[in-house]
Structure 1
Amino acid sequence: MTQEHDAEEPLDPSAERTAIRKRAMDMLARREHAPAELAHKLAQRDHDREQVAEVLDELIDDGLLSAARYADAMVSSRAARGIGPVRIRAELAPVQIDDAEIERALADSETDWNALAEEVRAKRFGAAQPEDFPTKAKQMRFLQRRGFDMDMLNAAFDD
């Protein structure tokens, strides 16, 4: 007896639910995901949105899916790549991490943002401070694109 599955025939609800949970667990095993991001990825796989929502609620209740953990992981990985808090906030907003959670993750991070801005500037342009205004402006624009605010920029160029 073969267990071929016809693409047109929907899975029974418990099999669908099991498939959604397995796929979600596989994705979470690779890296943290925001709940909204995981819901979107699962919906792209033609899973029933209602069942996806139910499975994600179960994963959250089980502690396997967490917006807080995702925000912490994003802050940590982005800071390690030399990305500042302004850009990190902008990257977390589209995956529906709320502002309070973002601010908590940034505050809990042990990153010295001023020191990171200086480190990123020195890595890109060398340790010496810029000699003239056009050079300094170029370096400041670079740091702004990386997500550092004016206070951090000023700290990076403080002698």
Structure 2
Amino acid sequence: MAMNMHDRALRCLAMREHSRTELARKLGPLGTEDEVNAELDRLVELGLLSDARFAEAFVRTKARRFGATRLRSELAQRGVSAALIGEAIEESCGDSELARARDVYRRKFATTPADAREWAKQARFLQGRGFSTDIIRRVLKEQPGDEPA
């Protein structure tokens, strides 16, 4: 049985929040661009589709594992505006970037880097997770027990 566009949209939104861009991509094969945009506008009016809500949920679920740079990049790829990205990161992450970097670091590495090669490896890992150079330096300079309580 063929699923109509509205049913498909509701099924997608029932599983998790989606950005408008993501949902447009998923609904694209079911109609013309105008039909898809009309359906998306209807969902926004009904309060079922919200880029702001999507950004908040995305940051809330991913912030424990990723830095602000990576979160910004991934949200931008999903079509969320820079203003909404900034609000979601500020609201969910606030001043905790260093604390989150420490937590990610501790879960991955048991010891501080012993030499330059190991330091570079650990720095690349944190950079890949989206933490800034300043945060990475601070985390890797700390010795176990140095961090504030």
The TM-score bracket by the shorter chain reads 0.7 to 0.9
Bigger Rg, which one: 1
Instruction: Quote the residue 1:51 is aligned against.
Output: 35
Among residues 119, 129, 133, which one is paired with 1:136 in the alignment? 119
Q: Does 1:118 align with 2:105?
A: no
Mapped partners of 1:146, 1:101: distance in 2: 21
Seq. identity, %: 38
In the TM superposition, structure 1's runs of 4+ consecutive aligned residues that sit over 3 Å from their partners are: none
Q: CA deviation at 1:84?
A: 1.3
Amino acid paired to 2:21 = A
Instruction: Quote the residue 1:71 is aligned against.
Output: 55
Matched-pair contact (CA < 8 Å) for 1:71–1:105 = yes
Among residues 25, 30, 42, which one is paired with 2:27 in the alignment? 42
Q: Does 1:86 align with 2:69?
A: yes
Q: CA deviation at 1:85?
A: 1.2
Q: CA deviation at 1:95?
A: 1.8
Mapped partners of 1:138, 1:110: distance in 2: 26
Matched-pair contact (CA < 8 Å) for 1:115–1:156 = no
Mapped partners of 1:69, 1:77: distance in 2: 12
Q: Does 1:152 align with 2:135?
A: yes
Matched-pair contact (CA < 8 Å) for 1:130–1:136 = yes
Indicate the SS of the match to 1:63.
coil
Q: CA deviation at 1:63?
A: 1.0
Q: Which runs of 5+ in 1 are unaligned?
A: 8-15
Matched-pair contact (CA < 8 Å) for 2:20–2:50 = yes
Residues 95-151 of structure 1: per-residue CA shift (max 9 Å, x gap): 21111111111000146111111111111111x322322211210111001110112
Indicate the SS of the match to 1:157.
helix
Among residues 2, 6, 9, which one is paired with 1:24 in the alignment? 9
Mapped partners of 2:105, 2:27: distance in 1: 40
Amino acid paired to 2:33 = R
Q: Which runs of 5+ in 2 are unaligned?
A: 143-149
Mapped partners of 1:95, 1:137: distance in 2: 31
